[in-house]
């Protein structure tokens, strides 16, 4: 029931034209009289829009009738039902420009542009203005306020919230309430669509069964997100992913065309941090591309826009996510294409081109040769089209996707990603790197030779090799990789496995004269990220998490007999597997289960058969486990702790022993998983620290693990480190991707200690 009344709140009076009173669930709000009020119970398909001054009463419907083109937000409120027993709390996210207030029987969600005081006054009129300010990196104490006046900076204020390196990793990691989906849910080749509000599950089901679309663009957050998102929850995202949908996660923050970009580096960093928090809460895991929606703008705004987008990309990379940018062909796309490869700005991993020419392809005259090739383009070729499938009508923008990014355990962005520069007129950055890697495979032979395999430009397989004299050579082995390679050394022969286009498994085998041609193991079907281990007699086992499923799959190569498989070993995996071969010849595979516990399956060397999957407990795990087999027969398994602080946990798995209790190792871990290895006559664990430095920890002579220490000279890791597997007496060699996008190595020997970091060619 709506009752008109007068009021005198200063902020509301400034909004113009007197006041009206709105009642809901026993609370009375004074709002500007010029604002329309929509009763969603009587108008169920009303589009709840935040780009207009308005108040919406009730719950937004799951099938709103919204245009696809809406963007921008101003002061607006949704006043809906809440739990009957709850505390009074008001939370503000100043980056997303959103305020949420809850009290018994009511929840209010409000947006604002440059005047949050209007929202605060409206909430105060109903007794809901007790404030807790939530920034993009951490919450302020209960009852804290932004300033004595209650004002917050506008979109373009130079005091826009920023984040420290330590804070951003803590908060981004803490924002994962559900097991993350693999980043492959954002890969697809074919037709997709995007719309202002995520469709209902029934609409998605109807379109999956009857439409040509298999990818959907959803707005996960941002201060200029214009539509409410009643359907967009972690459960909805997972349900659609399981059904077979792929995603384009979009973030609509401040716009150059609206004059909102005035502190580019600060704003781009803050928005990327908030985007990761929102994506994590929805279940989008590390490696997933998050797309900034930067609408068309005038040429005078190009430099500030490029600086903003560069900061967005750099921060996403720092937090373990891939970067995407959506913009108009003649604005952001043209500007980014002109800067590609110059080193002045960090380039997004995927480009999302709004060019409404009706062509379902990924071509644009602004692209030069080699720009965003190899599965890194989306083309929005038509807009605001009404289509009906399965009896369900939606207003959409039409897209064509060619996105096949590698998973976070594979390669980083193939385009240059230097730190954002103040302006293109400053001193030039280093030239674009020739090879990149985020986590790959490295093996060391008995003769001291080391071989590293990574995903390089164009998604090619890159080999870096040294004979132990410190001189590295680089070879482009071609192919098209969509996941990290895995390599094993059998005698003097190398076998490298990788996932190619269509998620098929490929193999490269070395010969005395070099590598033979690639072989597609088509009989093994679609695969996830392959992990290979080898026995001394030449038997090779390859494991992967099922493509589009959760089971553990296995294939085996026996000399003289060839390949057998694939074999479904069951299990419910929430991570890629980590297999090891024990000195006795047993093969054990570890993974994080859907319940976040540590699981394994074992094939005995004597029986030659696989046992049942085993729940080893010790959860909840905060990352995929990484296992290493020790010469004494034990297996050490490491993972990142889920709860704060994000220290490393260790489980010692002994043959025939009962489940152990995990040991907590010191050292604040970054977002990427640790890497264990046996080398230089010891066991080592290397990992990315919370400030992106390289850290290592190992057992002392008494078997007790030491305190983790920083490896001097190895800073600014853009990837998790990985180490070369080989003889116990071989030097410890650690590899990582630096902020320049190049692959680096540092070596430790008992005789000489730590070397200096060396950038590989």
Q: How does residue 747 score in pLDDT terms, banded at 50, 70 and 90?
A: confident
Supply angle C-alpha 629, 635, 638, rounded to 5.
Answer: 100
* Position 621 pLDDT exceeds 70: yes
What does the pLDDT read at residue 419?
Answer: 32
pLDDT at residue 152 in the model: 32
Please give the residue that has the higher pLDDT: either 301 or 17: 301
* Half-sphere exposure at residue 685, Cβ-oriented, CA atoms within 13 angstroms: 31
Domain boundaries, the chain: 2-133, 177-350+397-403, 437-547
* pLDDT of 399 strictly over 90: yes
Average pLDDT over residues 404-416: 51
Question: 437-547: CATH homologous superfamily?
Answer: Glycosyl hydrolase domain; family 43 (2.115.10.20)
Residue 76: is its pLDDT beyond 90? yes
For 322-363, how does the pLDDT look when each residue is reduced to its tens digit (9 = 90+)?
Answer: 999 999 999 999 999 999 988 899 999 999 999 999 999 999
How many of the other CB atoms lie within 10 Å of CB of 706?
12
CATH topology of domain 177-350+397-403: TIM Barrel (3.20.20)
257 and 272 Cβ atoms separated by less than 8 Å = no
Q: What percent of the chain has pLDDT over 90?
A: 45
Average confidence (pLDDT) over 90-98: 86
613-618 average pLDDT score = 91
Report whether pLDDT(4) > 90. Answer: no
N-to-C CA span, the chain? 72
Distance CA 210, CA 244 (A): 13
pLDDT at position 411 is: 35
pLDDT band at residue 407 under the 50/70/90 scheme: low
Q: How confident is the model at residue 738, as a pLDDT?
A: 80
For residues 66 and 52, is the Cβ–Cβ distance under 8 A? no
Give me the mean pLDDT over the 743-748 stretch: 88
Q: What percent of the chain has pLDDT over 70?
A: 84
Contact in structure between 16 and 37 (CB atoms under 8 Å): no
3-state secondary structure labels for all residues of 587-609:
EEEEEEECCCCEEEEEECCCCCC
How does pLDDT run across 702-742, given as a tens digit for each residue?
778 887 788 877 777 777 788 888 788 888 888 888 877 78
Task: Give 676: exposed, middle or buried? Use CB within 10 Å, 0-12, 13-18, 19+.
Answer: buried
Q: Is the per-residue pLDDT at 246 higher than 70?
A: yes
* 104-122 mean pLDDT: 90
* Mean pLDDT in residue range 26-39: 93
Phi, psi of 524 (to 5 degrees): -85, -5
pLDDT bin (cut points 50, 70, 90) of residue 132 is: low
Q: Is the pLDDT of residue 412 over 80?
A: no
159 pLDDT higher than 90: no
Instruction: Give pLDDT, residue 63.
Output: 86
Tell me what pLDDT residue 126 has.
92
Element (H, E) at 723: strand 722-723
pLDDT band at residue 575 using 50, 70 and 90 as cut-offs: confident
pLDDT digits (tens, 9 = 90+) for 676-695: 888 888 888 888 776 667 88
> What does the pLDDT read at residue 752?
84
Q: What is the mean pLDDT of residues 290-304?
A: 95
Task: State the pLDDT at residue 525.
Answer: 74
> What's the rounded mean pLDDT across residues 667-674?
64
Mean pLDDT (the chain) is 82
Return the higher-pLDDT residue of 648 and 271. Answer: 271
Determine the pLDDT at residue 644.
65
Query: Residue 582 — pLDDT band, cuts 50, 70, 90?
Result: very high
Residue-wise pLDDT tens digits, 174-216: 344 457 899 999 999 889 999 999 999 999 999 998 999 999 9
Q: Is the pLDDT of residue 74 over 80?
A: yes
């Amino acid at each position: 029931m709506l009752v008109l009344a007068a009021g005198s709140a200063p902020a509301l009076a400034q909004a113009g034209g007197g006041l009206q009173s709105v009642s809901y669930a026993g609370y009375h709000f004074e709002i500007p009289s010029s604002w329309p009020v929509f009763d969603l119970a009587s108008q169920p398909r009303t589009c709840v829009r935040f780009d207009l001054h308005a108040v919406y009463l009730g719950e937004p419907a799951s099938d709103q009738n919204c245009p696809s083109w809406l963007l921008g937000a101003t002061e607006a409120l949704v006043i809906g039902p809440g739990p009957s027993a709850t505390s009074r709390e008001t939370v503000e996210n100043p980056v997303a420009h959103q305020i949420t207030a809850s009290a018994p029987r009511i929840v209010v969600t409000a947006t604002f542009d440059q005047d949050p005081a209007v929202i605060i006054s409206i909430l105060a009129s109903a007794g809901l203005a007790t404030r807790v300010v939530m920034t993009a990196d951490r919450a302020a104490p209960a009852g804290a306020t932004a300033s004595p006046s209650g004002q917050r900076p506008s979109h373009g204020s130079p005091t826009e919230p920023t984040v420290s390196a330590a804070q951003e990793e803590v908060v981004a990691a803490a924002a994962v309430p559900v097991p993350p989906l693999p980043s492959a849910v954002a890969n697809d080749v074919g037709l997709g669509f995007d719309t202002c509000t995520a469709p209902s599950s029934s609409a998605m089901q109807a379109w999956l069964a009857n439409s040509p679309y298999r990818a959907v663009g959803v707005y996960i957050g941002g201060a200029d997100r214009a539509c409410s998102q009643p359907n967009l929850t972690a459960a909805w995202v997972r349900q659609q992913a399981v059904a077979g949908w792929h995603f384009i996660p979009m973030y609509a923050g401040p716009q150059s065309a609206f004059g909102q970009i005035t502190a580019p580096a600060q704003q781009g960093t803050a928005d990327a941090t908030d985007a990761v928090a929102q994506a994590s809460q929805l279940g989008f895991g590390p490696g997933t591309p998050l797309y900034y929606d930067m609408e068309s703008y005038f040429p005078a705004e190009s430099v500030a826009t490029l600086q903003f987008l560069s900061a967005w990309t750099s921060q996403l990379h720092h937090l373990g996510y891939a970067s995407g940018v959506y913009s108009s062909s003649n604005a952001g796309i043209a500007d980014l294409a002109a800067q590609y490869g110059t080193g002045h700005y960090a380039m997004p991993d995927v480009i999302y081109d709004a060019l409404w020419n009706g062509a379902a392809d990924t071509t644009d005259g602004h692209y030069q040769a080699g720009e965003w090739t190899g599965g890194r383009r989306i083309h929005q070729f038509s807009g605001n089209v009404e289509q009906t499938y399965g009896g369900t009508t939606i207003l959409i923008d039409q897209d064509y996707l060619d996105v096949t990014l590698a998973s976070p355990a594979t390669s980083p962005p193939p385009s240059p990603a230097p730190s954002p520069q103040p302006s293109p007129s400053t001193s030039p950055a280093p030239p674009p790197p020739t090879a990149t890697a985020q986590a790959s495979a490295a093996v060391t032979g008995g003769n001291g030779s080391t071989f590293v395999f990574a995903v390089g430009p164009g998604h090619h397989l890159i080999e870096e090799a040294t004979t132990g004299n410190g001189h590295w050579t680089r070879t482009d082995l071609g192919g098209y990789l969509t996941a990290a390679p895995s390599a094993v050394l059998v005698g003097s022969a190398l076998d490298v496995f990788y996932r190619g286009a269509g998620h098929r498994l490929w193999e490269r085998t070395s010969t005395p004269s070099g590598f033979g041609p690639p072989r597609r193991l088509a009989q093994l079907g679609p695969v996830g990220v392959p992990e290979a281990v080898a026995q001394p007699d030449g038997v090779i086992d390859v494991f992967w998490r099922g493509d589009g499923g959760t089971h553990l799959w296995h294939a085996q190569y026996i000399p003289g007999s060839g390949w057998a498989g694939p074999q479904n070993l069951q299990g419910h995996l929430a991570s890629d597997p980590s297999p090891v071969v024990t000195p006795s010849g047993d093969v054990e595979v570890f993974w994080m289960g859907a319940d976040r516990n540590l699981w394994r399956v074992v094939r005995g060397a004597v029986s030659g058969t696989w046992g049942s999957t085993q729940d080893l407990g010790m959860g909840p795990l905060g990352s995929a486990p990484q296992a290493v087999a020790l010469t004494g027969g034990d297996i050490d398994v490491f993972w990142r702790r889920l709860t704060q602080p994000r220290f490393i946990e260790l489980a010692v798995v002994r043959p025939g022993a009962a489940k152990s209790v995990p040991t907590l190792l010191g050292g604040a871990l970054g977002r990427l998983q640790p890497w264990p290895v046996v080398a230089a006559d010891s066991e080592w664990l290397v990992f990315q620290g919370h400030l992106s430095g390289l850290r290592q920890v190992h057992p002392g002579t008494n078997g007790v693990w030491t305190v983790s220490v920083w490896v001097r000279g190895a800073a600014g890791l853009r990837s998790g480190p990985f180490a070369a597997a080989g003889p116990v007496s071989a030097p410890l060699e650690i590899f990582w991707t630096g902020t320049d996008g190049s692959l680096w190595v540092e070596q430790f020997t008992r005789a000489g200690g730590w070397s200096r970091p060396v950038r590989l060619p």
